[in-house]
Structure 1
Amino acid sequence: MDPIRSVGIVGLGKMGAPIARHLAAAGFETHGLDVNQAAMAAAQKNGIKIAANAAELARRSDLVIVLTAFEEQVEEVIFGAEGVAAGARPGTVVAVAATINPDSMRDMAERLSARGLVALDIPICRGEGPAEAGELLITGGGEAEAFEACRPAFASFANSIHLLGGPGAGQAGKMINNLILWACISANTEGFKLGNKYGITKEAMRNMLLESSAQNWAMSTDVDPSYMPWAEKDMMIVLSEADRVRLSMPMAGVVKEVIKGIKIEHGH
């Protein structure tokens, strides 16, 4: 497969904007698109070339990275009338960085393949700070040759890059990561509440736990439990997939309800 020289980013928000900047700084011809005009104007100041629509962006790109928020937006961006599939050249790699259902990802990969395009799923982990620092983690799925061809581009914004298997494997990896992450956040929140009943401050409890066997990433980074915009969506994906493969995951159901309760408690 030919080297990747030009990359298009659909979605220039809190994750997409720094990813586009890192790609441009690494020497990739970088194109961008967003529904927010201010986001596109800011990206343009950082050397990102703005496209009129997703089809035009795809025509200019060897690799297109889709960073929209929801699955229906991914569908529209890729397969809409002026979508990526309408403008992409044969062999173009379409990488879905949004978190979507693994089964949907496999379906999209088949439809893209039928059009002569190559699909990868590359959902990203670690959040906004690591995005700004170029230290994201990619949990990948898809064709190994295409993934390796894209690795230099991915390495401009991620310092931990994993190919887990075929189409949908990356989404499955992200789904499992998020299940465990939200479970940790749920346990941390309930633990701190219990400690508070004994007059132990969160700071004192956290300092102790960080040196104990209960230490976890959410605790280390002091994740704010009130800021979890995608948590319920993530857990619904987990539960939907568990139903599809006929796997009982009772803790996942509990975590989903705990997360909902935390958000309600904080007015979300």
Structure 2
Amino acid sequence: MAYARYVAIGDSQTEGLGDPDGKGGWRGFADRLADVLAHAATDLRYANLAVRGRLAHQVREAQLDAAIALRPDLATVVAGMNDLIRPSFSAAAVVACLEDMFASLTATGARVASLTFPDLSRLSPIMRPLRNRVLDLNAGIRTAAARHGVVLVETFGYSVTTDPRLWSPDRIHASPVGHARIAAAFADALALPGSDSGWSMPLPGTRNSTVADTVAAELRWFSSFLGPWLYRRLRNRSSGHQLTGKRPTLAPVTPPAHGPA
């Protein structure tokens, strides 16, 4: 199926943080997926309403109606990571927001795609307490997606999704390689021309770390990323304060001449 109007909603992952576009902005999996879609439909128009730092209920409140107004025939909904790392996290509350977005968008006739979250506990020892949260959230997402016919990318069961090379140093945002894999996973789930399951294959080569390397990496991460994040939380200030979606209206997409990367 060729899509003519693709709208992406969500948080920083959909905005593209971690994947520089070379022009001072961010590319990300949604832009990369739009390139794939544009090869199948030369008249594709694409909008990206996502804003970093948004919780699931904020995505629903600020982006859902705007997305519906654009009359997409394809929409991606990715939210919940910012909720997952908050002390007040409720899997049921996040799933309720996601399901509301699934229901509202599919009711318009749009095809909707979303994803489950990888096992974050494998990224860092300090993230191990999040594993049960991820399991609960993923279970709810699967149920909601099945109920509304949402195309779902499964990431939890694949070891590659927790390969550090797919993540930025902050361990919250995907790296360029990670965003490329996410885009490829969506393309595969949507059965787009030229797509396959290669996104789920391990990256070549391995990296062995000593205990000293691991401790040093954890200390760098805490001082460079976790500390500033906690400081913003204490100030109740989002990283996306006063920001709006980077591509708020549908606009044509010119795919790279060499094909999607």
Answer whether TM exceeds 0.5 for this pair.
no
Q: Higher strand share goes to which structure? A: 1
TM-score for both structures, normalised by structure 2: 0.42
RCO higher in structure (CA 8 A, sep ≥6): 2
